């Protein structure tokens, strides 16, 4: 089981100062956060891709490659890469370069973006959202697996005898997750290819995602990739910790009340009760995170959102220290208990390359 963090790279003002971080400040903070993640023993750092203010994450592979150069073990991923508006040829190339330079520490998550207007910014038609996601990924999948690609689709010019370079490291394409919060078509797509399915799992109640993951698992088995229990499931989460509950809630409340996502709706306490948002003592974070397995079965990757909504870098780094020291060791131990031997671990390049070599 892999644990990590994911970021959206937002420039939300700190409610205490009213000041948003500068763009360079935020990008460098994300690097510092990623390096800290490795230092405290986390496995994964993932970044979103946004092309509008107040975000700075328009070029994920640039950021991830820079982080790769400053880390040793951390898996670099996205949350998400826009399969609808990026040219699949460019995705194939960018992530193959990242995969080589990071020694296989790269994977990625497919998504469709945070806003409708992103489609015209890249010359695409929002009404074709799902068909674009299906066709573009079908091409990306082929580009990483076939040396010479002949291709004809609806949404881009045809390819004849095209070779995407560099070829995937050791002949093994980066592992792909498909992220979705409501579309059964995407769960079906992930199942069809035997790829991973990531449910963001924050901002809404758990039962919202249970049907989608159940559908993905059932269809994964239907397509013959393994049993439903062996499907690759990733979940999001959001946590804020202090030694005791009251301090955690008191410290977090101003960030919650000013959050672009949370403000103006149900109170912090209602969100904590009804959604995966965890604010409390390390023990409370552990207990709540462990319930995810009860809802979704044994899974492969848990990513936490920890740096959004104006929380200053210093606090995020402190949070990561607590996560690494007090929460992570217990989660690793507890999630391993009773985990069936035939449920796969989180996907790594080393394991997948060994399996591919074995198959050859």
Partner 1 sequence: MKLVVIAAGLSEPSSTRLLADRLAGATGRLLPVRTRVVELRDLAVDIAKHLVSGFPSPALREVLEAVAAADGLIVVTPVFTASYSGLFKSFFDVLDRTALVGKPVLLAATGGSARHSLVLEHALRPMFSHLRAATLPTAVFAASPDWGSGAEAGGEELAGRIDRAAAELAAALGHAAPVRTNDELVPFAEQLAALGLD
Q: Reduced to 3 states, what is the DSSP secondary structure of residue 163?
A: coil
Is the dihedral angle over the CA atoms 314, 203, 333, 64 positive or is it negative?
negative
Sort 10 into a burial class: Cβ within 10 Å, 0-12 / 13-18 / 19+.
buried
Q: How far apart are the first and last CA of the chain?
A: 27
Q: In whole angstroms, what is the distance from residue 108 CA to residue 178 CA? A: 9
In contact, 234 and 217? CB cutoff 8 Å:
no
195 binds partner 1 (CB under 8 A): no
Stretch that binds partner 1, among 10-18, 86-94, 168-176, 205-213 (CB under 8 A): 205-213
The full DSSP string for 322-350 is HIIIIIHHHHHHHHHTT--TTS--S--HH
- Provide the mask over 292-311, with x wherever binding to partner 1 is found by CB under 8 A and - wherever it is not: --------------------
Radius of gyration of the chain (CA): 20
Residues 29, 14 contacting (CB under 8 angstroms):
no
Q: Which of 41, 131, 194, 312 binds partner 1 (CB under 8 A)?
A: 131
User: Exposed (0-12), middle (13-18) or buried (19+): which is 150, by Cβ within 10 Å?
Assistant: exposed
* Minimum distance, C-beta of residue 135 to partner 1, in the bound complex (Å): 5
The residues with which 162 forms a beta bridge, in sequence order, are: 149
In the bound state with partner 1, the residue whose beta carbon lies nearer, of 276 and 310, is 276
346 half-sphere exposure, CB direction, 13 A CA radius: 23
Q: Does 257 bind partner 1 (CB under 8 A)?
A: no
What H or E segment, with its residue span, contains residue 141?
Answer: helix 129-143
The one among 40, 65, 126, 215 contacting partner 1 by CB under 8 A? 215
Of the candidates 266, 340, 350, 354, which one interacts with partner 1 according to CB under 8 A? 266
Nearer to partner 1, 189 or 289 (CB): 189
Determine which residue in the list 72, 154, 224, 360 makes contact with partner 1, applying CB under 8 A: 154
205 binds partner 1 (CB under 8 A): yes
Tell me if 275 contacts partner 1 by CB under 8 A.
yes
Residue count of the chain = 360
Least CB distance from residue 119 to partner 1, whole Å? 17
- Count of residues engaged in binding partner 1, rule: CB under 8 A: 30
- The residue among 64 and 139 lying less far from partner 1, judged by its C-beta, is 139
Considering beta carbons, is residue 61 or 85 the nearer one to partner 1? 85
Does 74 sit near partner 1 (CB under 8 A)? no
Residue ranges binding partner 1 (CB under 8 A): 130-131, 134-135, 138, 152-154, 184-185, 188-189, 191-192, 203-205, 208, 211, 215, 219, 223, 262, 264-266, 270-271, 274-275
């Amino acid at each position: 089981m892999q644990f990590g963090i994911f970021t959206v790279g937002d420039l939300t003002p700190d409610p205490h100062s009213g000041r948003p971080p500068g763009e360079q400040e935020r990008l460098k903070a994300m690097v510092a956060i990623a390096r800290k993640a490795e230092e405290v023993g986390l496995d994964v750092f993932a970044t979103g891709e946004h092309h509008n203010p107040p975000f700075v994450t328009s070029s994920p592979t640039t950021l991830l490659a820079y982080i790769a150069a400053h880390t040793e073990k951390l898996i670099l991923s996205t949350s998400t890469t826009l399969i609808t508006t990026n040219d699949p040829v460019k995705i194939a190339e960018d992530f193959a370069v990242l995969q080589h330079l990071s020694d296989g520490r790269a994977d990625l998550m497919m998504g469709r973006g945070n806003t409708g207007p992103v489609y015209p910014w890249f010359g695409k038609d929002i009404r074709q959202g799902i068909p674009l996601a299906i066709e573009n990924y079908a091409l990306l999948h082929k580009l990483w697996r076939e040396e010479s690609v002949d291709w004809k689709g609806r949404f881009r010019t045809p390819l004849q005898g095209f070779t995407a370079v560099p070829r995937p490291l050791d002949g093994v394409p980066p592992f792909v997750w498909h992220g979705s919060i409501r579309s059964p078509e995407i769960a079906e797509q992930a199942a069809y290819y035997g790829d991973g399915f990531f449910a963001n799992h924050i901002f809404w109640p758990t039962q919202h995602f249970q049907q989608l993951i159940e559908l993905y698992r059932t269809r994964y088995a239907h397509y013959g990739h393994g049993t439903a229990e062996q499907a690759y499931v990733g979940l999001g989460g959001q946590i804020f910790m202090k030694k005791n509950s009251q301090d955690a809630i008191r410290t977090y409340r101003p960030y919650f009340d000013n959050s672009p996502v949370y403000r103006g709706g149900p109170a912090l306490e209602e969100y904590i009760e009804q959604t995966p948002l965890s604010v409390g003592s390390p023990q409370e974070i552990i207990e709540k995170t462990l319930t995810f397995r009860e809802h979704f079965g044994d899974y492969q990757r848990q990513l936490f959102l920890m740096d959004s909504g104006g929380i200053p870098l210093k606090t995020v780094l402190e949070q990561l220290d607590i996560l690494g020291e007090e929460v992570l060791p217990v989660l690793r131990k507890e999630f391993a208990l009773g985990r069936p031997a035939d449920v796969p671990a989180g996907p790594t390049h080393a394991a997948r390359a060994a399996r591919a070599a074995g198959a050859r």
